[in-house]
């Protein structure tokens, strides 16, 4: 009976981690695709220029693949060391995610202020050599969200040292339309506009986060259950 139970858990965990590994492959693939085909689209932050969507997906996909691989081999080989390693790695990631979420809600106001300050600092890199990614990112944000600047379109005045905004701020796009009067520009601040959009889609973000947590908890349960079963089997055989 115990042997049958162990075999059942073994194959369930193997399938679970195989799907986990395949998911990591998918995330890594999307990250590489973004880096190759959309390499010019980078982060808006001047403090963290490497914090782009492509880089985040590549790093996440790599970690997921490694963890899934360790889980697969640990399950199929019934290896206590690999099973425990899988459990510890997944637990560390889960606790780190939980810590980040808690800190985010506790320090929301401070994060808001820092983010706005950093984004305004990044505006000064707009259109400069070696910052085409940041330039394209701002152009896409302002065009898609119909906004201008971080907290106001006047943020751009400090960048250009004159009454001017990028052409992506214009209600009707045309060459050098950013030199026209403010009446032809979007007035909404980008930071608040994007923040409101995220709040409107909070349910989808919450569901995604909950599903991610459930998958990780399921993985932890499988790993620890199988580890205990392997230890019992070894003790029984001894």
Q: Which range among 19-28, 61-70, 182-191, 225-234 shows the weakest confidence by mean pLDDT?
A: 225-234
**Which tens digit of pLDDT belongs to each residue from 65-93?**
999 999 899 888 888 899 999 999 999 99
pLDDT at 43 over 70: no
Rounded CA-CA distance 45/53 in Å is: 12
Mean pLDDT of the chain: 85
Q: pTM value?
A: 0.76
Is residue 118 scored above 70 in pLDDT? yes
Mean pLDDT confidence for 150-159: 92
**Confidence bin at 238 (pLDDT 50/70/90):** low
The mean per-residue pLDDT over the stretch 101-108 comes to: 90
Does any domain span residue 163? no
* Predicted confidence band of residue 228 (pLDDT cuts 50, 70, 90): confident
- Of the listed ranges 31-35, 44-48, 91-95, the least confidently predicted one is 44-48
Host domain of residue 215: 1-130+190-237
Q: Is residue 67 part of a domain?
A: yes
Calculated CA dihedral for residues 145, 151, 152, 153, nearest 10 degrees:
-60
Q: How many domains does the chain have?
A: 1
Question: Is 62 inside a domain boundary?
Answer: yes
The answer to whether residue 217 is domain-embedded is yes
Domain assignment present for 227: yes
Give the confidence band of 46 by pLDDT, cuts at 50, 70, 90: low
Residue 49 CA to residue 46 CA, distance in Å, equals 6
Report the share of the chain in percent with pLDDT over 70: 90
Whether residue 116 lies inside any domain: the answer is yes
173 pLDDT more than 60: yes
Residue 95 is assigned to a structural domain of this protein:
yes
Q: What is the dihedral of CA 69, 73, 78, 82, to 10 degrees?
A: -50
pLDDT surpassing 60 at residue 112:
yes
Name the token pair of 176.
């050098």
The reported pLDDT for the residue numbered 94 is 92
Within-domain flag for 169: no
- pLDDT value, residue 191: 94
Confidence band of 145 (pLDDT split at 50, 70, 90): very high
User: Which CB contacts under 8 angstroms, 24+ apart, belong to 26-32?
Assistant: 26/61, 27/57, 27/60, 27/61, 27/64, 28/57, 28/58, 28/61, 28/62, 28/64, 28/65, 29/61, 30/57, 30/61, 31/55, 31/56, 31/57, 31/58, 31/59, 31/60, 31/61, 32/58
Name which of 142, 115, 111, 141 is nearest 46 in CA terms: 115
Which ranges constitute the DSSP H helices of 78-201?
Answer: 80-106, 108-123, 132-145, 155-160, 190-200
């Amino acid at each position: 009976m115990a042997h049958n139970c162990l075999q059942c858990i073994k194959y369930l965990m193997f399938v679970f981690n195989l799907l986990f590994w395949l998911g990591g492959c998918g995330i890594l693939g999307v990250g590489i695709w973004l880096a190759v085909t959309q390499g010019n689209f980078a982060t808006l932050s001047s403090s963290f220029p490497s914090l782009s969507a492509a880089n985040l997906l590549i790093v996440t996909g790599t970690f997921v693949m490694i963890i899934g691989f360790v889980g697969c081999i640990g399950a199929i080989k019934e290896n206590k060391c690999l099973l425990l390693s899988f459990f510890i790695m997944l637990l560390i990631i889960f606790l780190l995610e939980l810590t980040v979420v808690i800190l985010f809600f506790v320090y929301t106001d401070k994060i808001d202020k820092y983010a706005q300050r950093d984004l305004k600092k990044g505006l000064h890199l707009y259109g400069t050599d070696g910052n085409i990614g940041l330039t394209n990112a701002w152009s896409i944000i302002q065009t898609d969200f119909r906004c201008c600047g971080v907290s106001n379109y006047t943020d751009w005045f400090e960048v250009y040292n004159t009454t001017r905004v990028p052409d992506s701020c214009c209600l009707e796009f045309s060459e050098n339309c950013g030199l026209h009067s403010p009446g032809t520009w979007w007035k909404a601040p980008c930071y608040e506009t994007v923040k409101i959009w995220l709040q409107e889609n909070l349910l989808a973000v919450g569901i995604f986060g909950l599903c991610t947590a459930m998958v990780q908890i399921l993985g932890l349960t499988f790993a620890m259950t199988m580890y205990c079963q392997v230890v019992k089997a070894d003790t029984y055989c001894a």
